[in-house]
Amino acid sequence: MILKNEARKYIKTTCGDGWLSFVDKVYQKLPTGTIITQVYQKYGALRFDIEPENIDFETFLDTIEQISEKTCEICGEIGDEKIVNGFVETLCDNKTCMEKCLYLDTL
Ligand SMILES: [Zn+2]
């Protein structure tokens, strides 16, 4: 089970600040009895794994995933798919975000 603060910290250090508001939203809406087992970035999207199955909440997570695919991981502005060091990342066109993303990649 991953707590909100751990999820925030993990996304902040592996992606950036741009998606933290999504993490907050997901934890706000987390139904009683449902736990988050994993949170991660995959193919430029923010993903959550939960237990047990919950169709309604998974639909909400799909929506979050789709929005994250259009939101810069670093700054939260509108972004799209970019390839950084061979990984799919979602970034805006701001050069600073690309540089920060490259830096996070090397940590
Ligand atoms: Zn950005």
Q: How far is the CA of 56 from the centre of ligand 1 (A)?
A: 31
pLDDT at position 37 is 98
- Its pTM stands at 0.94
Q: How far is the CA of 25 from the centre of ligand 1 (A)?
A: 20
pLDDT at position 104 is 81
- What are 24-48's pLDDT values in tens digits? 999 999 999 999 999 999 999 999 9
- 76 pLDDT above the threshold of 70: yes
- CA–CA dist 31, 79 (Å, integer): 30
Could you tell me which residue, 4 or 87, shows the higher pLDDT? 4
- CA–CA dist 7, 23 (Å, integer): 7
Contact indicator for 51, 104 with CB cutoff of 8 Å: no
Q: Smallest Cα–Cα separation from 21: which of 69, 91, 68, 86?
A: 68
- 51 pLDDT above the threshold of 70: yes
Q: How confident is the model at residue 107 (pLDDT cuts 50, 70, 90)?
A: low
Q: How many CB atoms lie within 10 A of CB 1?
A: 7
Q: 75 is in which domain, residue-wise? A: 4-106
- CA–CA dist 51, 12 (Å, integer): 23
Q: Which residues are bridge partners to 24 per DSSP?
A: none
Could you tell me which residue, 39 or 85, shows the higher pLDDT? 39
Name the E strands within 61-104.
Answer: 80-84, 87-91
Number of domains in the chain: 1
Q: How far is the CA of 18 from the centre of ligand 1 (A)?
A: 7
Q: What is the mean pLDDT of the chain?
A: 95
